[in-house]
Amino acid sequence: MNPSDIPILPLGSHVSMSGREMMLGSVREALSYGANTFMLYTGAPQNTRRKPLSEMRLEEAHALMAAQHMQPFVVHAPYIINLANTLNAETYRLSVEFLIQELIRTDGMGSRILILHPGSHVGAGAAAGIESIAKGLNDVLSASPNVLVALETMSGKGSELGRSFEELAAIYDRVQRPERLRICFDTCHVHDAGYDIVHDPEGVLAEFHRLLGKEQIAVFHINDSKNERGAAKDRHADIGEGKIGFETLYWFVHHPDFPDVPRILETPWYPDPEHPGKMRPPYREEIQWLLTANRPKTFPRA
């Protein structure tokens, strides 16, 4: 087969953005994995300290992306945002404010998709949490550029909302501009939430399509899971080493209905056999396995 006949599958991983290189370093990291797309956080996911766009080396990053024919990239909002918190008004207010800033940053960095964890109701109940998320999104979307907010499917750990497709649909129903919403479908989270993607992936996607519409999927997070289906745990495993398994993850990556949807690995780093005491990213080999279906039966991992 001629290289130009191979369809381009947008496949990459989470990459870091830090130090002097900032986004230029993110692009270089993605290329080092053989990726053609990537996901980044605009700063540490646990805090709100952010560098100005002028220090992110955006022009050099985009020049390198263009030279390497890379696909569009996506941005993930930090975990501290919780639009579902109705018990602490200050957390909610800061979440709305910071999310507006993140959408402006995402736009300025040249991405049109910001991934967001819908939120945790922290004891107030799912109904109150969903109303609060919708209210927050309405405020945020009317005050920010035309970037899409991709609500992530969640495992249901703690009081997380977005565990079921029904909860995500309830958010869509309450948002004034649902055309600004999309979904990030995380295979580990959907499995941990209880959907049987191992035995019936087509059935799970059909259920998703009935409630939300499969065209709403704007990103896939491709992760294996350390836990049994329905565990509501959210612990990612490396590809083929968890309870989901290689075959199912390969099936999602190669699904023909999502040609332009980025597939992003968020699998854990593992101890480097060549450098004791150091960790290494699994992304380069996992991307190769997922592209070629050749995953070695034994591999150099503890």
State the burial class of residue 282 (Cβ atoms within 10 Å of its Cβ: 0-12, 13-18, 19+).
buried
* Rounded distance between C-alpha atoms, residue 117 and residue 163, angstroms: 10
Beta carbon nearer to Fe ion, 152 or 286? 152
* CB contact set of 228 (below 8 Å; sequence gap of 6+): 243
Near Zn ion by CB under 5 A, which window of 97-105, 113-121, 234-242, 250-258? Answer: 234-242
Nearest to 150 by CA among 242, 90, 88, 75: 75
**x/- site string to Zn ion, residues 98 to 137, per CB under 5 A?**
----------------------------------------
Residue 160 is a binding residue for Zn ion (CB under 5 A): no
In the complex, the residues that contact Fe ion under the rule CB under 5 A are: 152, 186, 221
Beta carbon nearer to Zn ion, 131 or 234? 234
Residue of minimal CB distance from Fe ion?
221
Residue 234 is a binding residue for Zn ion (CB under 5 A): yes
What tokens does 86 get? 């109705």
Residue 286 binds: one of Zn ion, Fe ion, none (C-beta under 5 to 8 A by kind):
none
Near Zn ion by CB under 5 A, which window of 2-10, 144-152, 211-219, 228-236? Answer: 228-236
Residue 234 binds: one of Zn ion, Fe ion, none (C-beta under 5 to 8 A by kind):
Zn ion
Are the C-beta atoms of 139 and 131 separated by less than 8 Å?
no
Residue of minimal CB distance from Zn ion?
234
Are the C-beta atoms of 215 and 252 separated by less than 8 Å?
no
Beta carbon nearer to Zn ion, 160 or 234? 234
Beta carbon nearer to Fe ion, 186 or 286? 186
Near Zn ion by CB under 5 A, which window of 68-76, 199-207, 211-219, 232-240? Answer: 232-240
- Concatenate the DSSP letters of all residues of 199-229 into one string: T-HHHHHHHHHHHT-GGGEEEEEE-EESS-T
Residue 221 binds: one of Fe ion, Zn ion, none (C-beta under 5 to 8 A by kind):
Fe ion
Are the C-beta atoms of 161 and 151 separated by less than 8 Å?
no
Beta carbon nearer to Fe ion, 235 or 280? 235
Sign of the CA dihedral with 80 first, then 85, 91, and 92 last: positive
* Rounded distance between C-alpha atoms, residue 113 and residue 180, angstroms: 10
Enumerate binding residues for Zn ion (CB under 5 A): 234
